[in-house]
Amino acid sequence: MDYSEKVMDHFANPRNCRKMEDANGVGTVGNPTCGDLMTIYIKVNDDDVIEDISFQTFGCGAAIATSSMITEIAVGKTVEEALKISRNDVAEELDGLPPVKMHCSNLAADGLQAAIENYRENNQ
């Protein structure tokens, strides 16, 4: 399976890979077919901007790379802007994923959306 240099870099050197103790939004998603499990943590400030984001992922290299990439895409964006990050956006930022691994970018986008939903539930 051929992975782009960006995928390999984010797999070997994941960004923002940690549990965030003071997160105000947490989303956990999984894919029972492949066994990947991903938790995205967000800290949203009073201006509704994601000021910190991190992840913990149990899964393949592509799942780790997409988790890492979504943290880079979403940080600094408003919650509304972050909600618009699509599954394809994640794959495109990584210079593509093999078709059999596209479900990994789905997980990253879904995890971010779940964290935002959790944030909104906690702050209504």
How, if at all, do strands 50-58 and 25-31 pair? Answer: unpaired
Set 65, 104, 114, 115: catalytic member:
104
The half-sphere exposure of 103 on its side-chain side, counting CA atoms within 13 A, is 13
Is residue 60 annotated as a catalytic residue, yes or no? no
Alpha-carbon Rg for the chain, nearest whole angstrom, is 13
Q: What are phi and psi of 55, to 5 degrees?
A: -150, 160
Name the catalytic one among 34, 49, 60, 83: 34
Query: The tokens of 88 are what?
Result: 């394809």
Distance CA 38, CA 7 (A): 17
34 is a catalytic site residue: yes
Query: Catalytic residues, which ones?
Result: 34, 104
